[in-house]
């Protein structure tokens, strides 16, 4: 029966896939093209130019480096806090652990603006901290921590990893030796997948960052919103082009690295 349906369904699936892809890509292509023409109202007849890209880079170029540094720092913070937290939740059988794990996901369900407001009300009085990138980093950690914990915790619950831990304990390994020498390498693919997710979320996060930033601590998404709100549409579209040109090579490189590690260490 399946062989009879395949010749009929494949062309239909192909047509649907192409139509859906075109529907999703068309707005992106149109937006990017708007940043490369002299005048959006006249379209491509006004001629192509790189002037808008140059203006965007002059005004918002500094946000590129800070966004990448912020995303890397967020990954490091998640590795230091999220991985041990995932292990603790995986080994704790208390019902309070389940409740804590559910509470940990609240920042994902609650709008980012509400989370940012809570951080400002609690820590906004510390002026130097409030006006630094560390304040935004704390917000990103609160938002991304559940993704790291949810990704790594199931790996620590796997029976083969628990068996490895028991074997190393029976051989006299200390907790530090078991954790760093056995558990982390065994769960490494999950940790890499969580890190990639955290990096992607941190780079593109806007709602929370918009509330926490200052004029001196803007990130790529905040600069993108500013350019949309206060300048010509060509400037905003050129900013989109810069955003994609910066982020896509980084994400492709990280994805390639994650696939390489998974092939080497298994799933």
Query: Cβ distance 90 to 159 under 8 Å?
Result: no
Q: What is the DSSP string of 128-158?
A: HHHTSHHHHHHHHHHHHHHHHHHHHHHHHH-
Query: How much of the chain is helix, strand and coil, in % rounded to 5?
Result: 80, 5, 15
Which phi and psi angles does 231 have, rounded to 5°? -130, -175
Q: In this predicted model, what pLDDT tens digit does every residue of 53-109 receive, in sequence order? A: 888 888 888 888 888 899 999 999 999 999 999 999 998 877 787 788 778 888 888
Q: In this predicted model, what pLDDT tens digit does every residue of 176-194 receive, in sequence order? A: 999 999 999 999 889 988 9
pLDDT of residue 1: 45
pLDDT of residue 6: 52
CA–centroid distance for 47 within its chain: 36
Q: Which helix (H) or strand (E) holds 37?
A: strand 37-39
What is the sign, positive or negative, of the torsion defined by CA atoms of 210, 213, 215, 221?
A: negative
pLDDT of residue 2: 47
Q: Average pLDDT, whole number, for the chain? A: 85
pLDDT confidence tier of residue 9, bands split at 50, 70 and 90: low
Q: Is the pLDDT of residue 14 over 70?
A: yes
CA–centroid distance for 225 within its chain: 18
* pTM, entire model: 0.80
Q: In this predicted model, what pLDDT tens digit does every residue of 115-130 receive, in sequence order? A: 899 999 999 888 889 8
pLDDT of residue 51: 85
Q: In this predicted model, what pLDDT tens digit does every residue of 24-48 receive, in sequence order? A: 988 888 888 888 888 888 877 888 8
Q: Is the pLDDT of residue 4 over 70?
A: no
| CATH dotted code for 50-265 | 1.10.3720.10
């Amino acid at each position: 029966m399946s062989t009879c349906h395949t010749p009929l369904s494949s062309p239909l699936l192909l047509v649907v896939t192409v139509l859906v892809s075109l529907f999703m890509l068309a707005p992106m292509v149109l937006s990017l093209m708007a940043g490369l023409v002299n005048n959006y109202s006249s379209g491509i007849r006004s001629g192509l130019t790189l002037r808008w890209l140059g203006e965007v880079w002059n005004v918002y170029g500094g946000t590129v480096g800070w966004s990448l540094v912020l995303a890397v720092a967020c990954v490091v913070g998640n590795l230091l806090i999220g991985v041990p937290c995932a292990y603790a939740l995986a080994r704790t059988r208390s019902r309070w652990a389940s409740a804590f794990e559910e509470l940990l996901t609240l920042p994902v369900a609650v709008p980012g603006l509400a989370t940012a407001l809570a951080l400002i009300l609690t820590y906004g009085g510390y002026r130097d901290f409030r006006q630094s990138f560390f304040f935004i980093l704390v917000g990103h950690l609160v938002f991304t921590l559940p993704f790291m914990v949810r990704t790594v915790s199931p790996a620590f619950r796997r029976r083969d990893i628990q068996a490895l831990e028991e074997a190393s304990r029976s051989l006299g390994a200390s907790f530090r030796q078991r954790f760093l020498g056995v558990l982390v390498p065994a769960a490494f693919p999950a940790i890499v997948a969580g890190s990639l997710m955290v990096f992607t979320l941190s780079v593109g996060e806007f709602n929370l960052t918009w509330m926490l930033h200052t004029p001196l601590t803007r990130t790529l998404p905040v600069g993108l919103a500013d350019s949309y709100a206060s300048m010509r549409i060509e400037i905003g579209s050129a900013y989109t082009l810069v955003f994609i040109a910066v982020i896509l090579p980084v994400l492709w490189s990280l994805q390639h690295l994650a696939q390489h590690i998974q092939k080497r260490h298994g799933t």
